[in-house]
Chains A and B, each alone.
Chain A
Amino acid sequence: MLPGACPLSPGAARPDSPTDHPHRSRPSAPPEARLPADDALDPAALEKLERLGGPGFADRIVGIFLRDAPGHVARAEAALARRDGAELAYAAHALISTAANIGATGLEALVRQLERDAQAGAWDALPAQVARLAAAHASLAPRLAARPPAGDA
């Protein structure tokens, strides 16, 4: 288990996580209230992976996320720094189904929007979105790494 990590359990998603973009935590933000927090996790997704692929399959898929996601986040940050919209869109795209497969619903929504905005060249919005991407990943990765083996919950 990584230092400081907390195990994932049903209900462990933190919709008001302080690592999330803070404006969503305010009670006075009703237009976004229905969106998942950037670091939300849906435990049902991992349970479905186990059903589809058998024991240990969710761990394999989570392992791929933990292995590959840091590179995608770093690519997004580097692309933002040099204002490379195509590369930024590709880095975001690479995370869409990877996030969705593990039930990272907020991250999936975020990178879908990031891909669209990068393709559109919405440079005013992109720095904040990439910062949210990094924060969401920083919250998700230790929780996923510390999750108990599937079937133990």
Chain B
Amino acid sequence: MKRVAVVEDNEDNRLLVAAILGGRYAVEEYADGPAALAGLAASPPDLVLLDISLPGLDGVEVLRRLRAAPALAHLPVVALTAHAMAGDRERFLAEGFDDYVTKPIVDEVRLVGAVSRLLGDPA
């Protein structure tokens, strides 16, 4: 089973992601950026779901550090964000995210679609 890491400080959102993806993927949870960077480096997953508004080290900075690490630079990373403002999609893609999903994660089809597309799995 492919492994998806979710980096998200809100426990309810981590549980929601695990509930939606759990039947298809092994979901690994991290509550903050430093823990995620350490865990991902020790055992890289197949894909990362990364909250933008993490306390301390935010999602954009975590992404920059992932992209700077040779062993992790190739990982597909999907931004999770509570913001859905005009231009956000372009901004996140320009930062180096592979896709983004808005929170609340009310559309599980969108989340499953983004993950399966990037992993080459059937939706």
User: Which A residues contact B (CB, under 8 angstroms)?
Assistant: 45, 48-49, 52-54, 57, 60-61, 64-65, 68, 90, 93-94, 96-98, 100-101, 108, 112
A53 touches B53 (CB 8 A): no
Expressed in whole angstroms, the minimum distance between the Cβ of B10 and any Cβ of chain A is 6
Q: Residues of B with Cβ closer than 8 Å to A?
A: 9-13, 15-16, 19-20, 53, 55, 82, 103-106, 108
Contacts of B55 in A (CB 8 A): 90
A-B interface pairs (CB < 8 A), number: 50
Q: A52, B10: Cβ atoms under 8 Å?
A: no
Chain B residues with CB under 8 Å of A94's CB are 9-10
The 6 closest A-B CB pairs, nearest first, are: A100-B104, A53-B19, A97-B103, A64-B12, A96-B82, A97-B104
Classify the secondary structure of A's interface with B. helix
- Chain B residues with CB under 8 A of A68: 11
Query: With a CB–CB cut-off of 8 A, which chain B residues contact A60?
Result: 15
CB of A44, distance to nearest CB on chain B (Å): 10
Asked if residues B20 and A97 are in contact (CB atoms below 8 Å), the reply is no
Give the complex CA separation of A68 and B9 in angstroms: 12
Contacting residues, chain B, for A64 (C-beta < 8 A) = 11-12, 15
**A101→B82 contact, CB < 8 A:** no
Q: Give the distance to chain A from B19, nearest Cβ to Cβ, in Å.
A: 4
Known: A64-B12, A98-B13, A112-B82. 12 other contacts (CB 8 A): A52-B108, A53-B16, A64-B11, A64-B15, A93-B53, A96-B82, A97-B103, A98-B10, A100-B104, A101-B12, A101-B13, A101-B16
Max chain B Cβ within 10 angstroms of own Cβ: one of A64, A68, A97, A98 = A97
17 contacts between A and B (CB under 8 A): A48-B106, A52-B20, A52-B108, A53-B15, A53-B16, A53-B19, A64-B11, A68-B11, A90-B53, A93-B82, A94-B10, A96-B82, A96-B104, A97-B10, A97-B13, A97-B104, A98-B12
